[in-house]
Amino acid sequence: MKNNYQKIFKLIILFLFFLVNNSYSQEYNYARLTVIYGADIPFNFRSINNYKNGITITNGTVLGITLADSNQAGVSLEGFDLRFRSFNSQASIEGSVYDIPLSTIELEASNNIGLGAATYTGLKELSTSWTNLVEYTQNPINPPAFSDLIWSNHQVNISYSCGVTNTLLGEESDYYSVEIEIELIPTGPGF
């Protein structure tokens, strides 16, 4: 009886080893965002001028972009879209008592290093739906094999504005906060 349990135990161990070994051997395209700095952006309104004109924090966040193509049949990596929205589609910027519209905050992306050929969509208002900040295609006319992007050499700056386009004059004083989701979407046939 003890011998049967040992055989079953060895069979289970062998089966688990096969599953683990098999799952690591599969190759897939790889996409990753790395926050180099600027994960928390505070806006401190300390004067009437700040309320009238708003505040802009230029290059408040730097994101590193890593993309690797596995050259799998049926999937061809050509580039990426970088987009944003309020986290979990939060409908407003919430204060402890009052709320203000999401459109009070705007984001804009620019090249930091290695992504000068990308299309940057300009200043965009925060909303509950996904909005593109960056569209990048590597050699769209005659694409060769995709050259991998590494976060240390491919970086995007994110600048933030609050109350610049949509003024805060007339809004109640409060401590407001909102989380912003930024998503990296690989693009190309098969995605």
Q: What is the DSSP string of 16-79?
A: HHHHHHHHHH----EEEEEEEE-S-------SHHHHHH-EEEEEEEEEEEEEE----TT----E
> Cα angle vertex 97, ends 131, 172, to 5°?
80
Residue pLDDT tens, the chain, 191 long: 444 444 333 334 333 333 333 333 235 577 899 999 999 999 999 999 999 999 999 999 999 999 888 777 777 788 899 999 999 999 999 999 999 999 999 999 999 999 999 999 999 999 999 999 999 988 655 555 678 899 999 999 999 999 999 999 989 989 999 999 999 999 887 66
> Cα angle vertex 186, ends 182, 190, to 5°?
145
Residue 144's pLDDT is 57
Structural domain includes residue 8: no
DSSP-derived pairing of the beta strands 105-113 and 79-86: unpaired
Q: What CATH number does the domain containing 154 carry?
A: 2.60.40
Rounded to a whole number of angstroms, the distance between the first and last alpha carbons of the chain is: 53
Structural domain includes residue 12: no
Structural domain includes residue 4: no
Domain that residue 62 falls in: 27-187
Residue 158's pLDDT is 97
Structural domain includes residue 3: no
Number of domains, the chain: 1
Structural domain includes residue 144: yes
Structural domain includes residue 2: no
Residue 78's pLDDT is 86
Residue 184's pLDDT is 95
Alpha-carbon distance of 121 to 154, in angstroms, equals: 18
Residue 77's pLDDT is 82
Structural domain includes residue 66: yes
Q: Look up residue 185 and give its two tokens.
A: 């979407």
